[in-house]
């Protein structure tokens, strides 16, 4: 099963890491990522640009959708990055999340299961097209 670990931080957490050495952060995260690679569970990982001034939000509550500067009205919990793990259970994903570096007050990790394409109706033309694309790109 695949799980996404979504890293979130509030303003307090961003302030706490504001002066954190970037090279040290890369070292810390790199070691954790290497552990997951060595364990055979890491599928993908990305960090997001922390400059929220370059973010936009598309709000679909109106037609046409409204685009505003983001990330949100408030940065109570800014989505900072993610890992996708292929593990045996939610419990295993939770154990990896508990070990994540750069954690502290104001930091959270949301864990969500990633649905497999096999869970969708296989006779649907759009699912078939996506399956063909995934096969052609080596994702299946």
Domains by residue range for the chain, with CATH: 2-136 (3.30.70.1060)
- Please give the structure tokens belonging to residue 28: 């810390």
Q: What are the pLDDT tens digits along the chain (140 aa)?
A: 999 998 887 778 777 777 778 788 888 888 999 999 999 999 998 877 666 677 777 888 889 988 887 665 555 667 778 999 999 999 999 999 998 887 777 788 889 998 888 988 899 999 999 999 999 999 88
Burial of residue 120 (CB within 10 Å: 0-12, 13-18, 19+) is middle
pLDDT of residue 75: 56
pLDDT of residue 133: 93
**114, 41 Cβ separation under 8 angstroms:** no
- Report if pTM > 0.85: no
- Please give the structure tokens belonging to residue 63: 């037609």
pLDDT of residue 86: 95
Q: What is the DSSP letter of 54?
A: G
- Please give the structure tokens belonging to residue 60: 């679909």
């Amino acid at each position: 099963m695949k799980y996404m670990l979504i890293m979130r931080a509030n303003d307090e957490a961003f302030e706490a890491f504001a002066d954190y050495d970037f090279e040290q952060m890369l070292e810390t995260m790199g070691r954790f990522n290497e552990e997951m690679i060595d364990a055979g569970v890491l599928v993908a990982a990305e960090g997001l640009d922390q400059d929220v001034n370059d973010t936009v939000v598309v709000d679909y509550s109106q037609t046409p959708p409204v685009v505003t500067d983001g990330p949100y009205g408030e940065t109570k919990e800014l989505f900072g990055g993610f890992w996708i793990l292929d593990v045996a259970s939610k419990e295993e994903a939770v154990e990896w999340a508990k070990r994540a570096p750069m954690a502290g007050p104001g930091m959270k990790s949301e864990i969500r299961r990633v649905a497999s394409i096999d869970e969708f109706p296989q006779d649907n033309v759009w699912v078939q097209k996506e399956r063909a694309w995934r096969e052609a790109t080596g994702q299946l």
